[in-house]
Amino acid sequence: MKTQTFLFVAVLQASPGFAESPLLSLPSFPDFVMVGVGAGPQYIGSDDQVWAAAPAGQWGFGHRYVSLQANYLNVNLINDPNWSAGPAGILRFGRTDVEDDAVDALPEIPMSIGLGAFVGYSFAGGEDPRNRWRIGAGVLQDATSPDQGFVADVNVRRWLPVGEHAAMGIGLASSWASEDYMDTYFSIDSSGAAASGLPVYSAGEGWRDVRLTALFVQPVSRKWAIGTGFMYSYLLDDAAGSGVVRTRDQVYAGVGLARLW
């Protein structure tokens, strides 16, 4: 049973950690460490791909846990098999030294930290512990530069058994961003337009993107598992109309190896 529960863990950390919500969101996780390698857009809206390593780990006590998922950290404070909630944080990489010459001429967006909270509810879809649903939501406010705003996220995920030990997960999520956040990442003022040749643009609050995630994990022993992950993000509203966006279609993929304790 412990190995079956662990199946949910491995694949999710294989993808680069660019989401706004916890990907590892089932109760009673075993303790683990993981390293994943994946590729994704250089910045939100880029058509240039970059590779990155994604560390992960989780320490549980009862149904509570502390979880690091690449650039996302959350702490579940509720000792309940279905409900989870607590503080969360994210490291945003900003936009610096990008390949696109026009976008690179715009003012840099420094790395920042977002702080907030998450809540989720998980329930069984059948007798097999790999068959589960989860719905959740969260919000993260920039803490290092408050004028960079906040992002709120809603999500639903379904895990299904595949064969005797493997599991497949499918998720749908969307993020709504404040005016300050959208202005920071997508607006172009007159000085930026003059330096880059891109048109002046003012982005307002609204839905930033919608995301579809597909995941597959296969154990290779009771202590090791490998997985693959794919995420497709489609930019929406004022995010899609910005000159910094070279494509609305954002694709992330990766593989990972995990060790269970």
- pLDDT (tens digit, 9 = 90+) per residue, 199-246? 999 999 999 999 999 988 888 888 888 888 899 999 999 999 999 999
- Please state whether 62 falls in left (phi above 0), alpha (psi between -120 and 50) or beta: left
pLDDT the model gives residue 32: 82
- pLDDT (tens digit, 9 = 90+) per residue, 123-152? 998 888 889 999 999 999 999 987 789 999
Q: Are 19 and 72 in contact (CB under 8 A)?
A: yes
pLDDT the model gives residue 26: 44
Q: State the Cα torsion 226-9-208-248 to the nearest 10°.
A: 10
| Alpha carbons 259 and 186: distance in angstroms, whole number | 39
Full domain range(s) for residue 109: 2-260
**Where is 104: in which H helix or E strand?**
helix 101-104
Say yes or no to pLDDT of 17 above 80.
no
- CA distances to 172, 208, 247, 252 from 153, in Å: 11, 10, 22, 18
Q: Is residue 184 helix, strand or coil? A: helix
Q: How confident is the model at residue 21 (pLDDT cuts 50, 70, 90)?
A: low
Nearest to 245 by CA among 38, 110, 106: 106
| Alpha carbons 249 and 240: distance in angstroms, whole number | 10
Say yes or no to pLDDT of 53 above 90.
no
Cβ partners under 8 Å of residue 24, min gap 6: 8, 9, 12, 13, 56, 58, 67, 69
Rounded to an integer, the average pLDDT of 26-43 is 78
Q: What is the CATH number of the domain that holds 57?
A: 2.40.160
Rounded to an integer, the average pLDDT of 101-125 is 95
Tally of domains within the chain: 1
Q: How confident is the model at residue 180 (pLDDT cuts 50, 70, 90)?
A: very high
Determine what percent of the chain is predicted with pLDDT higher than 90: 63
pLDDT the model gives residue 22: 58
Rounded to an integer, the average pLDDT of 148-161 is 94
| Alpha carbons 80 and 224: distance in angstroms, whole number | 27
- pLDDT (tens digit, 9 = 90+) per residue, 59-83? 888 889 999 988 999 999 999 999 9
Amino acid at 158: R
pLDDT the model gives residue 70: 86
Tokens (6 digits) for 7: 């199946």
Q: CA angle, corner 250, sides to 249 and 252, nearest 5?
A: 145
* Mean pLDDT of all residues belonging to the chain: 87
